[in-house]
Chain A
Amino acid sequence: MGQDDAAADAEQKKPRILIADDEPNLRLLYQSELESEGFEVLLATNGREAIAVAASEKPDLVVLDIRMPGMDGVEVLQRILDHNRTMPVILNSAYSSYKENFMTWAADAYVVKSSDVTELIAKIRDVLSKRKGERGGQAGTSAGG
């Protein structure tokens, strides 16, 4: 395989992450960080948009802020999962207390917002690799056919 092919392949395989946050500065920060870590980033500025983008673009993972005007992250999570049971979702909030809300158990992970995005990125990788492991088995069988 040529180098371009390999690059294109890598380009194609770039995980697509949907970030939903009502703060433009934070969207910009996450976008910059995630892109520099080799992810493709989709953005949504509120809950409704997030549900729509998740349905149309089918990202590999959704990162949801909980406190958003209109529809909060917990409800958005519910809707996304109603539509696609297997969609990986990470909740990202300023409140650690939401950890104890049983509604959030449905999410794959819960990250407390921080200027240090290392934890968020680590959690994204973690969730993706777990899902890949589950799906990898299936993919292997279909690739063989």
Chain B
Amino acid sequence: MPRDGTLYDDSLWRAQNRERAQFFKTYYGPLGANSLHGLAIVDTISCSVLYANARFLASHGLAPNLEMPALCAAVHGRGSTPCGEGDAACPAMVGAKKGVEHRLTEVRPGGDGLPARTAEIVVIPLTFQSQFGRRSEVLLVEKEQSQAAPATQESEQEYHAAVARHSADAILGLGLDKKVRFWNRGAEELFGYSAEEAIGQDYGLLVPDTDIDRQEYQQLTRDFEKKGLVKNQQARRRTRDQRMVVVNLTRSHVLDAAGHPHGSSEICRDVTLEVLLRELIEHQLRAMNVIHEIGDLLHSTHSVDEILRLILTGVTAGQGLGFNRAFMLLVEDEDKDGGVLAGRLAIGPSTGDEASRIWNKLSKEPVALPDLYSRYEGTTEGHDVLVNSIVRSFRVPMADDSHPFVRSIKSRRAKNVIRGRLTDENKQVDAALCAQLQSDSFAIVPLNTREKPIGVLIVDNLITGLPVTEADLQMLKVFANHAGIALENSRLRANLERRVDELDHLTRRMQETQARLLQSERLSVIGEMAARIAHEVRNPLVSIGGFARLVRKGISADDPRSDYLRVISDEVARLERIVQGLLDYSRPQQTLDLVDVDVPRLVHEIAAMTRLEAETHGVSIVERFDPALKTVHIDGDKVRQVLLNLIRNSLDAMMREGQVVVETALVGDDRFRITVADNGPGIPKDKRERVFEPGFTTRQHGTGFGLAISKRLIESQGGQISLRSEVQAGCTFDIVLPRRVHIEEREPPRS
């Protein structure tokens, strides 16, 4: 359990620790091996050592080839009992609890096969956010102090001199003229000058010849003159072989017998390694944070283009991994010969001038990555023309196993090319590839999901000319993992969204159909009643109106009754029009609703509509389209009703698993066919003739009118429907329709 009470997945955490251990080994291995100090990095949440150098292992009595990560408890000789929170015996746990950098002195009495020692331990806690939660690691730097001088010194005075001479820290004595008067063994080791060489030289010899270092030294001198003491100041010094070292120095007065200063002493402690390590770790933490931040951003977007742009921004931004250029190639057309690796997007300046302009602008102030992303996004259009034209020139067939990009994807290994040479295979890459990228040193990092390859990321430092280091490669791999997951998520999501849209669309359509059905049912009831009433009312109206007209004809137009009769006949005429309207309205609608219909889409909709039902029967629905057949002019609703009916029939007929194939095809120039075929039990020959007859059914359920109605619906559009069937080999229904149905095709010729 993590100590902050949050839950973490043990196996994921262990996997991440293995990744970290591998990373440290690559990153710090060479540096730590040369160190005189013991170095270790401990994950304090799972209480494991992720990295320890040879010196550290030796001084704790551990095997030099101890496999990492290892239990922290092993270091303390406790077997497998983990250290507790803030465990006083475990500097790492103490460090994690304190949360700030500090030093402590550990005195080990010796025993259990370990020699006695006194060590100063610098404890540097490091916390950061990883993809699995907050990590709390501690860097330990152990400096063993040389053992006290033998107790056989003649005098107290000589003993003091011996202590100073043999101290592991450098101790210098300076005269008032700043000339070296005392130079101990520590100073010889640290600065490389022997006592003979150093004594009599000016202290300035040790100050590096840069403005900053000189100014700092002048400041130090002034401070010392004012206060008489400078304590724990960090400064850079120059060694005999012109290396830079970082020291922590304390300078104080040396007083004569009368109490007057007659010089100064300076104690310098070498902190180069600590500083270097801290800088490296901070750089790494920054990069990890960037990766994490980009991870967050990546998961907040679902557009593939945006994800690609984010990835490339993270790879190239100064606050991120800081490469000069990055190219993204994705696997496309996977179903054709394994697909092709096609260039999609790139970021990077085309010239050094442009690069320094952009980076200067960006590095003026610290910018949060999301801001940087949005800012950079705005500036990419003009700047990346060249790199984008480079990336788009790539189309590498996935079948080309000799291509380093393809090899990288297929082996799931990052590859590094330095001056045209693949470092892992130790052979030259094709010169044409370098020419195409306009660079001979670059790294190839595969983007994969667990199941399949997605693409490759190519990065280089064209502008600075620096090759990509193995440590960079490690970082890129971690980054590529994030990127791969995000890209896959986005694809899955896009898929899901499409499905949800489809489902929405279908649901709406079904609701509409249902509403229409209900409406027409209602209309037919109303219509029937209206027709009956209208008919009953009609004849009396004809009598009333007819006689009114007849009587009116027989009387003079001057007779006032003529007007009354006109009123009667007019009103009757009005009633007759109303009745006629009712009768016309209630006539069954037999008209065709001819519209342009996209056949593949119609078939796809119906397949999607029935797929769920089919899958519960263990039946798959297969769609096959003739690419030449697209839009036709038919009554789509009626054809949809027929296809639904045919597919449902097939599903009912199939007792076991099977498939229904819906296939489209052109027939000649002006007709087309939709075939619905199943591999169910089929229909016996004697019943085949009768399936389209009204009331005929082979099923236990069903009205027996489905196929009869289907036949009428297809024939009303000038089409035919027919059945082919073999017993035990399934049923095949063929619907053939004109590509353009005309109204005339179903109406009888007028007299």
Contacts and interface: CB of A to CB of B under 8 A. Distances in A.
Contact of A115 (B569, B587, B751): B569
A25 B751 CA distance: 31
Nearest to B568: A115
B576 A114 contact: yes
Nearest to A110: B751
A94 interface: yes
A17 to B, nearest CB: 16
Interface residues on A, range: 20 to 34
Interface residues on B, range: 20 to 34
Given A25-B543, A26-B543, A112-B580, A105 B535 contact: no
A105 B546 CA distance: 27
Nearest to A33: B550
Q: Report, nearest first, the 9 A-B pairs whose CB atoms are least far apart.
A: A115-B545, A25-B543, A29-B546, A94-B538, A105-B751, A115-B546, A115-B542, A115-B572, A23-B539
Contacts of A94: 534-535, 538-539, 583
A26 B535 CA distance: 14
A30 to B, nearest CB: 8
A84 interface: no
Chain A CB count within 10 A is highest, among B542, B572, B576, B584, for B542
Majority DSSP secondary structure for residues of B touching A: helix
Nearest to B588: A97
B576 A97 contact: no
Nearest to B537: A94
A73 B671 CA distance: 42
B583 A95 contact: yes
Contact of B587 (A97, A102, A112): A97
B547 interface: yes
20 contacts: A23-B543, A25-B547, A26-B539, A26-B543, A29-B542, A29-B546, A29-B550, A32-B547, A33-B550, A94-B535, A95-B535, A96-B580, A96-B583, A100-B748, A114-B573, A115-B541, A115-B573, A116-B545, A116-B549, A117-B549
Interface string A18-55: 00000101100100110010000000000000000000
B412 to A, nearest CB: 73
A16 B572 CA distance: 29
Contacts of B529: none
Contacts of B543: 23, 25-26, 29, 115
Interface string B544-556: 1111111001000
Contacts of A117: 546, 549
B545 A32 contact: no
B304 to A, nearest CB: 58
A26 B587 contact: no
Contacts of A105: 751
Interface string A57-74: 000000000010000000
B589 to A, nearest CB: 12
Contact of B542 (A26, A100, A102): A26
A112 B32 CA distance: 109
Contacts of B542: 26, 29, 113-115
Contacts of B549: 115-117
B426 to A, nearest CB: 89
Interface string A98-132: 00101001000000111111000000000000000
Nearest to A109: B751
B748 A113 contact: no
A14 B587 CA distance: 40
A23 B576 CA distance: 17
A115 B550 CA distance: 10
A71 B91 CA distance: 114
A61 to B, nearest CB: 18
Contacts of A23: 539, 543
Contacts of B572: 115
